[in-house]
Amino acid sequence: MAKKNVSPRKKKPVSYTYDAIIIGTGPGGEGAAMNLAKQNKKVAVIERYKDVGGGCTHWGTIPSKALRQTVSRLIEYNANPLFSGTDKPKHFTFPDILSHADAVIRKQVRLRSGFYDRNRVEHYCGEASFIDPHTIQILRNDGSVEQITAEKILIATGSRPYHPDDIDFSHPRVYDSDSILSLTHDPRHIIIYGAGVIGSEYASIFRGLGVKVDLINTRDRLLSFLDDEMSDSLSYHLWNNGVVIRHGEQIERVEAKDNSVVVHLESGKKMRADCLLFANGRTGNTADLNLDAAGLKADGRGQLAVSNTYQTQVENIYAVGDVIGYPSLASAAFDQGRIAACAMTDDCSNAKLITDIPTGIYTIPEISSVGKTEQELTEAKIPYEVGRAQFKHLARAQIANSLVGSLKILFHRESKEILGIHCFGENAAEIIHIGQAIMQQKNGGNTIEYFVETTFNYPTMAEAFRVAALNGLNRLF
């Protein structure tokens, strides 16, 4: 008797609670959640803090920039000839200026909560951890546990300040860049260890409040990734305002007392201050995710390796933001989340992060850069020229009494293509985008001649581009 041909039984499709689960509601998580929601996907976000926004909103970008804005206006008031001599200088304490930051944080939370509500993204509050590559356990604050599943999962848990084991961060005079926001007393002297972006920004903030600042830099120059002129400008400006910078130093030990902190350096130096802000390095927030259950492993800095579409080594799991390392910018994280969402729904997606990501450093004054530095162009043997504009020569800067700063444009001597733009001064992070827009033009549209051929409002800070372009073109022969 002939056997009947039996067709293989079709696999029953797996049923998941959601199309995608996003762990973390910072810029990366928000960018992914909003993109997926717009594609009519069923999305859930998990946030361990009581409010959405992530570290960017609550401990990092938003509060530090709000503090910086208040201090900058205070410095401007005290330096303005219209007010000087009429009264004693205004003085605020650190707790005083925190109130403005708190108000901004509350507005940001309301705004971002509205995004999730309007787009029908379900919000879970609790600690997330993997059960398997498709299943997440949520431990709520009340101790209850819930499990949800999804076809795709995105890790956007951000980072936290690095804590060496031999420093007691529970001591009331020892802070990191998160806990400094809980500072309740008015220090007269602070030591900041770590002169990266965070350390340099807080050095500006505290010095602007009249606090004596010692800034310890583990490297031989400030923010060495910057163009040398920008780094030198910041160093000079901090020094000129009274910040003591010690380069090439490492902490040996910290002696925290009831009334002070003594920092012992490996070079044999000792420094004493009212408190210490440790701002040297960050660690990806992956320790509590139970990554092993998902088949993932983080590196020694708590970071995950990803492809150019932000896919991890596990096919259905993606990661964006600080948890994957460079460039560790809120602006880039949002775009990474958006790009990862595209890849989740379309294997052939061509979306990618731009090559020239602008950098904004909110010291006082600001620094902002996009494109190549002079050092990089020299090393690559690219024939470039430089165009400069000093803010003190601009009518708008004179009117606003914002005379410190400059704009520098690097361009190819032959093609006149703009290769890099570097700005130091008030509103540098805004000014840079004018140049960035031209740099992104294709088919020969990116040339320094644009700034000469267009007409700028007068008086404006944007006029610096025309002045710098003329300066650079005049160098050609």
Instruction: Residue 11: count other Cβ atoms within 10 Å of its Cβ.
Output: 6
- Collapsed DSSP state (helix, strand, coil) of residue 466: helix
Residue 390 burial class via C-beta count within 10 angstroms: exposed 0-12, middle 13-18, buried 19 and up: middle
Q: Where are the alpha helices (DSSP H) in 286-349?
A: 330-345
**Residues marked as binding for FAD?**
47-56, 65, 157-159, 322
199 neighbors 361 (Cβ within 8 angstroms): no
Report how far residue 128's alpha carbon sits from residue 289's, in angstroms, rounded to the nearest whole number.
6
Query: Of 435, 421, 434, 327, whose CA–CA distance to 374 is shortest?
Result: 421
Peptide bond connecting 365 to the previous residue in cis, omega within 30 degrees of 0: yes
**Residues marked as binding for NAD(+)?**
194-201, 281
306 neighbors 318 (Cβ within 8 angstroms): yes
Query: Of 368, 366, 165, whose CA–CA distance to 278 is shortest?
Result: 165
Reported residue count of the chain is: 477
29 neighbors 156 (Cβ within 8 angstroms): yes
